[in-house]
A = this chain, B = another copy of it.
């Protein structure tokens, strides 16, 4: 790849990362090209489709979450971190809502599921809970709180608390029995 192309590509990725984070996948290719200071057609020289561009940006975000799963001590800490990331990046929300179905993204989610599974293995959860459950439920918590994102930006913490109380096995008492 020629030096000028490397530079163009970086400008494109920087602009896309910023705009997708703020506005989600719905920001137009024209806007991204303008912000990057390049022609609209050039975007498609680097990425065959808009979806491919989104997948490249979102892939990095998912890798960051996998790192977090490996570095954070507990399942609880990971879930707090993960929902927090969902709350501040609209592109990640679009992945969570299933509107991005790119194979690279699916692979990234799969790696995240596996990393979450390793945390579940070391945690005291109710029986049958998998890493995949944890990842899906994180997105559910975020999306429940999302409509009030502006009015109550910390609402997801409360909802995550409810979920964790249903998910974690506290050991001492019998939290999941119904009288």
Contact = CB atoms under 8 A, between A and B. Distances in A.
Interface residues of A, number: 36
A146 B98 contact: yes
A144 B130 CA distance: 14
B173 A162 contact: no
A97 interface: yes
A137 B162 contact: yes
A136 B158 CA distance: 12
A129 to B, nearest CB: 8
Interface stretch (A12-20, A39-47, A163-171): A163-171
A103 interface: no
A114 B177 CA distance: 29
Given A97-B97, A166-B164, A136 B140 contact: no
Contact of A172 (B133, B140, B164, B179): B179
A133 B137 CA distance: 16
Contacts of A179: 170-172
Interface centre among A140, A148, A161, A173 (most CB of B within 10 A): A140
A143 B139 contact: yes
Nearest to A142: B140
B171 A162 contact: no
A159 to B, nearest CB: 6
A142 B161 CA distance: 18
